[in-house]
Structure 1
């Protein structure tokens, strides 16, 4: 992480995998003025033990927030909680990392049903859409506080990062489709890319950066140990 970040950072899907590592590195490498709001569906569950250990390891720097990215009421409650804590300071960085794939593994056409498609879309697309929409006032506050830096947009000022994947690329789909059809995952992430472009256009006049990144293959529960390039 080459950029020194401060301020308030909100990360979804942090109990394992990429999200957990993001929280760890942010806690290690950011300044004392940085506070990380780390989200997961079951903060008290066994699956969040590693995240709770980070809270102990970095006292006062991480707050765990209960969030189900597929549930609008859960999103509203999380935004309200964070808004009350942040106040006029604003939100500097929103990282939409939470994502699911259904059915598990290859998710072929034959195996994938309507409910699978809708469940994945709700988490991978609608969740990031609602979070950006609800957090917009706090992102705007952070952007305005950074006005002394001119019109330059950055993660240090006010930004949204959507975690995407090379599997969402229409051009590169033939390279990996045979061993990983993952219909619901691919199509949801392609939609996330368009959401990113729309928000980038919409928010640029407010000096809020919006971008999507492909983190590359990572050995996680979602990534697995076989599918190179998966995220």
Structure 2
């Protein structure tokens, strides 16, 4: 709460507050430079805030790194997806967390437990609601943009135990590919995970999200149920005005 972050003379966050609840999708919108990505990087441990408090399950916590955030159950889907194109889907699902199968009597030689990786990857893809992928042995390079995005979401779902943060997860995707990703997001929320999605696609967010948080000049200026908002309301809030139903 009340997160601040400054870069020299630039105040990127000026007391931003946000609450992401289990089992719901929260859309975070705002103009370029509003502080959306900076706030997300603070939550996932990629940036240290200058002030304010992060709380997990009601307990104030100082997140020291992205690994620390992962230990808290928070996974992040970045714009560049952080996928290795020459590796298989299963290998990407375990990237940096590969299970090791020990040799005879628990000794050497040791090797990757590829069977476990394949089985877990299949389960994760099924859980994420992805129905367009024929095999977890396929190279990521051979997948469509929507399938790659969905794999990044499925990986986050597989490892997350509390929340998933997504920064423009459908940027540059077509309608069909976007639908694949959104289906995965809905499936993740249905599992009880808290989902935070940064997006400039306001119409899509009003259809996908349970709530919409609006940022302006480093502050969170609104946090409202998506069903109560129109595109005009959101744009008005982004520009500093008042949405319908809010007190002037």
Q: TM-score, normalised by structure 1?
A: 0.33
Structure number with greater Rg is 2
**TM-score, normalization: structure 2?**
0.31
The structure whose RCO (Cα within 8 Å, separation 6+) is larger is 2
